Structure 1
Amino acid sequence: MQQNTTHTAPEQSFLTVKATASRFGVSPATVWRWVRNGRFPAPVRLSDNCTRWRIADITAWENSLETA
């Protein structure tokens, strides 16, 4: 039997608020505060109870910090 697996490219993947916070060593509340203050990319609402950050948006934000 052939198995059909779909792999998402990393730049098209999403992170939860917990995973995003862990990536930067901060709390989820800090991530939300950064978003509110316009210091971090806005999340994408995938459904009523599902909010995620695009890895591509986070990577672009990180790269902008390096060039600033």
Structure 2
Amino acid sequence: MIGLGRSSIYRKMETGFPHPVALGPGSVRWRYADVKSWADGLQSAA
């Protein structure tokens, strides 16, 4: 959806990217609504 690698995503979490939800040991996912809201905020700031 956003085309970022794992390390880039974790770096962006320091500056506002949503945090993931743990699904189990070693498994995380991001809520679509959280990521979409973040991306929409980028577009409105530009």
Q: What TM-score results when the alignment is normalised by the length of structure 2?
A: 0.72
Q: Which runs of 4+ in 1 moved over 4 A?
A: none
RMSD: 1.5
Cα deviations across residues 5-28 of structure 1 (Å, max 9, x unaligned)?
xxxxxxxxxxxxxxxxxx333321
Unaligned runs of 5+ residues in structure 2 are none
The residue number in structure 2 matching 1:13 is none
Decide which structure has the larger Cα Rg and report it.
Answer: 1
Bigger RCO (CA 8 Å, 6+ sep): 1
1:24 aligns with 2:2: yes
Unaligned runs of 5+ residues in structure 1 are 1-22
The residue number in structure 1 matching 2:42 is 65
Q: What TM-score results when the alignment is normalised by the length of structure 1?
A: 0.55
Aligned residue-pair number: 45
